[in-house]
Amino acid sequence: MYAIQKTGLYGNQYDPISDTTAVSPDPDPADPWLFTDPSARSFYFEHGLIGQLEDDIRTYAMFDDCWTPEELEYKLEVRRLLREGYIAPRDSFGHISPHPTIYRTLREGSLEISGQRYAFTGLEVLMFEPWLARYSNPGLRGPLQVCHLRYVANPCLCCDAFPNVCIHCDITRAMMCRILTYGRSEQ
């Protein structure tokens, strides 16, 4: 998975805060910044692109202007893992918007989202994956990846990473969203 190293953007003076802490409040499903690392948000603000980032998140990272229940469950699990000392924020965030904080695993453990268990060792990273990335890469399951990183120099909006989606009309994009089951079966 691709990531942006904060020290690459800010030198050694980056702010070590993350999008989630052990004492974060319960996630607001309508908050577009819920999965955005504060350093990424600052980067877009400083470059006059914060509105473009918010529009990209609302259009291509959120589902109907809300985060899905599975994504919110991921957020709660990250908070738990931080509180219990299983993970810690890295000095990096995801390359594709919403540019989530990346967490390093400190010891072996697991998390559960929508009944699916994700195990990790003490040498991996956890990273949030928006629905569009999961749709575009059918091998991805659920709202996270347990993986190793490759660093790149520049952040990327979902609309630039997945340009074919941008040319689809709203109806087609809505149909693509419905294809994803987010771990639920049709009833």
pLDDT at 123: 86
Q: Where are the alpha helices (DSSP H) in 11-167?
A: 38-46, 50-56, 69-83, 131-136, 158-161, 163-166
Given a cut of 60, whether residue 167 has pLDDT beyond it is no
Structural domain count, the chain: 1
pLDDT band at 11 (very low <50, low <70, confident <90, very high): low
Q: Is residue 22 part of a domain?
A: no
**2: phi then psi, degrees, rounded to nearest 5:** -90, 145
| pLDDT surpasses 70 at 172 | no
In this predicted structure, what is the pLDDT of residue 183? 43
Assess if residue 84 is contained within a domain: yes
Q: Does some domain include residue 18?
A: no
On whether residue 185 sits in a domain, the answer given is no
User: Looking at the domain assignment, is residue 135 inside a domain?
Assistant: yes
Q: Report, as an integer, the average pLDDT of 75-96.
A: 95
CB distance 67 to 34 below 8 Å: yes
Three-class DSSP category at 84:
coil
Domain contains 24: no
pLDDT of residue 43: 92
What pLDDT, on the 0 to 100 scale, is given for residue 184? 44
Which phi and psi angles does 29 have, rounded to 5°? -65, -20
User: pTM for this one?
Assistant: 0.84
Is the separation of the CB atoms in 43 and 9 below 8 Å?
yes
- Whether 23 maps to a domain, the answer reads no
Tell me, what amino acid is at 169? C
In a domain, 74, yes or no: yes
- Host domain of residue 40: 2-11+31-179
The mean predicted confidence, pLDDT, of the chain is 84
Which amino acid makes up residue 91?
D
Q: Is the pLDDT of residue 180 over 50?
A: yes
pLDDT in tens, 33-68: 999 999 999 999 999 999 999 999 998 899 888 999
How many of the other CB atoms lie within 10 Å of CB of 69?
Answer: 15
